[in-house]
Amino acid sequence: MEQLMADLKRQIIEALNLKHLTPAEIGDDQPLFGEGLGLDSIDALELIVLLQQQYKVKIENPQDGPKIFRSVRTIAEFITAHKPA
């Protein structure tokens, strides 16, 4: 889980062009949207693409986004639970 979260932070910075941040500046449980990292709806769509490309995990309903993308930890948990064997 720790490794997965570290990977995710790197990948999120890369995919979402958060060049003002380093992985260490993103907390495991820090909210990614709204007051936290300030991500928006387009970022959420990019995260869907990221999960599909990097982890072969599909999110069919974008409405599930906010729950899954709450923090790096919730994303890691979702990947772990849904990753194809």
Partner 1 sequence: MVRGQQVYVAGVGVISAIGHTAGETLHALQQGTSGIGRLTLFPSAYQDTLPVGEVSLSNEALTERLDLRAHAVPPRTALLGMVAARQAVDQAGIALAAWRCGLISATTVGGMDRTESFFPAFLEDPGAGHLRDLVHHACGNVTELMAEDLGIHNFISTINTACSSSVNAIMYGTRLIAQGMLDVVVAGGADALTKFTLNGFNSLKILDSAPCRPFDAGRNGLNLGEGAGYVVLVSERVRQQLQRPLLATVAGFGNTNDAYHQTASSPEGRGSYAAMTGALTMAGLPVEAIDYINLHGTGTVNNDLSESTAIQRLFGEHVPAVSSTKAFTGHTLGASGGIEAVFSVLALTEQCIFPNLRFEQAMPETGIVPQRTFARAAVRHVMSNSFGFGGNCSSIIFSTSPARA
Partner 2 sequence: MAFITATASIRAQTLTRNGTIQYRDASPALPEFLQQAYTALKIDYPKFYKMDTLSKLGFLATEALLADSPLAGYPPEAVSLVLSNAHASLDTDMQYLAASRTQPSPALFVYTLPNIVAGELSIRHGWKGENAFFITPAFDAAQVAGYVALILAQPGAQACVAGWVDVMGGHHDVFLYLAENTRRGLALAHTAEQLKTLYTGLWNS
Binding site for partner 1 (CB under 8 A): 40-42, 45, 48-49, 62
Token match 């993308």: residue?
69
CB nearer to partner 1: give 5 or 16. Answer: 16
The DSSP 8-state label assigned to residue 33 in this structure reads B
Give yes or no for residue 32 binding partner 2 (CB under 8 A): no
Interhelix angle 72-82/41-55, rounded to 10 degrees, is 40
What, of partner 1, partner 2, none, does residue 81 touch, CB below 5 to 8 Å by kind?
none
Pick the closer one to partner 1 by CB: 5 or 57. 57
